[in-house]
Structure formats: structure tokens, C-alpha cells
Amino acid sequence: MNRLMAKTVDWIFLAALILLLSLWTYQRNALWANEMAFWEDCVKKAPRKERAHHNLGFVYYELGQSDDAKREFEEALRLTPDYALSFYNLGLVYYRKGLLTEAVSHYRKAIELCPTLSNSYYNLGLAYHHLGRYPEAICAYEELLRLKPNYENAYNRLGLAYAQLKQWNKAIQSFQRELSQHPNNFSAHIYLGETYMELKEGSKALSHFQKALAYPHVTEGEKILKMVSKLEAAQKEKRRK
């Protein structure tokens, strides 16, 4: 009976969660649909205003309509060729499409036009990373951190680039800097755990994986639990020897 009640409660909870997520998605899409109608009307009334095209493009981007977004950002740039934000957002569109070289080109142009546009450096680093151009990714993140030292996840991304180059000490230092600035960033603990695994330092890896699991919204919790179980088993075996 208790098992049946527990299963019933689980299903009720799951159904409620799905309903809440569906409602949130509906409300979010409705919000952007209203924004789209507003900016489409603005474009009709003022077709030569780059801001209207840019903002409409951003709404399209948020709705996943990448081709429509690209068209509007390009029109904004035709009207105002030095509009840095449109270059940046075009970079986002190309990145989403997997056209990383084009994304890099547009992020760099955005930076050239507006050197204080911090998101451009972050996303430039991401594009370089996925292209396997890790030294350039490091330069992008370092420039970002000079501009905005507390930019969340910047030190994490810097550490991941160093890890790809097997510069483990610099990777560890970067993840630790992330935690010193953003103590609730559980991803830094995960990255430290993975780094110490590479270095065969099981006890340190275990400590960081356990700390990551203490966070209520940790992602890939099941995967981390498996790593913890494996490391704990290895430590028990080591103590028996």
C-alpha cells in the first residue's frame, strides 16, 4: 500500500512539474509573441529605423527563428553599418547555426566597433574553443576579465581552455578563481573534479564532486554520483591494501 501511495505521489508530482513547465513555456512564448507584434508594427511604420529592425531580429532570435533574425540584423546593418550590437547578435545567429568562423568574424567586428561590449569577448572565446583554437580562446577570456573581472563563468571557460592544452595548474587556478568570485557556481567544482581525475589525484577529485552534489540544482547529478561511487570504491580498495 505504501509503495502504491509513493508511486501515486511521484506521478502527481511529475504531472504537476510538467504542467508548470508547460505553463512557463507558454507564457514565455506569449511574451515574445507580443514583443514580435510590437516590433513588426514598428518596422512597418519606420522601416528606416535600424533599432526597430535590430529589436525585431532579437525577438526572432529568442523565438528560435534564426533566418528571420539574420535578415533583420543585416537590415539594421545596411541602415547603420557601424551598429556593434547587430554584429554581435549576427554572431549569435551564426554560432547557433554551427557556422563558427562566421560567428568569430562578427564578434570581432562588434569588439572593433565597441571594445567594451563584454558579451562579445565571452562568445568569441566560446567560438574559438569549439574551433579548437584554444590559445585564441584564452586571449578572448583574458581580455574579458580585464574588462569585467567578475564576469560569471569567464574563469571557468578560461580553465577549460587551459585544460585542453593540458596546462593543469593554470586550469586549476582558473576554476578556483571562479569559486572565489562565485561560490555557488557548482560547475567549477565539477571541472576541478575532472581535472584532478586527469592528474590521478582521486581524493581531491572526490572532494570536489561531493561539493558539487551538495548544490540543489546541480546538472548531470547522476553522472557525478557514478564518479563519486567509483572514487569511493577505489579509496576503500586502496585502504585495504
Tell me what pLDDT residue 31 has: 55
CATH code for 156-241?
1.25.40.10
Contact 153, 187 (CB under 8 A): yes
Per-residue pLDDT tens over the stretch 46-63:
888 999 999 999 999 999
Which sign, positive or negative, has the C-alpha torsion 160, 162, 166, 172? negative
CB-based burial, 16-27: b 16+ in 10 Å, e otherwise: eeeeeeeeeeee
3-7, 92-96, 103-107: range with lowest mean pLDDT = 3-7
Residue 14 has pLDDT above 60, yes or no: no
pLDDT recorded at residue 241:
65
Domain boundaries, the chain: 41-151, 156-241
pLDDT one-digit tens code per residue, 172-189? 999 999 999 999 999 999
Whether residue 59 contacts residue 39, with contact meaning beta carbons closer than 8 Å, is answered with yes
Angle at 57 between CA 51 and CA 60, to 5 degrees: 145
Mean per-residue pLDDT over the chain, rounded: 88
Q: How confident is the model at residue 154 (pLDDT cuts 50, 70, 90)?
A: very high
pLDDT surpasses 80 at 137: yes
Q: Give the mean pLDDT of 27-53.
A: 79
Report the pLDDT averaged over residues 144-168.
98
What single-letter DSSP state applies at residue 18? H
Overall CATH class of domain 41-151: mainly alpha
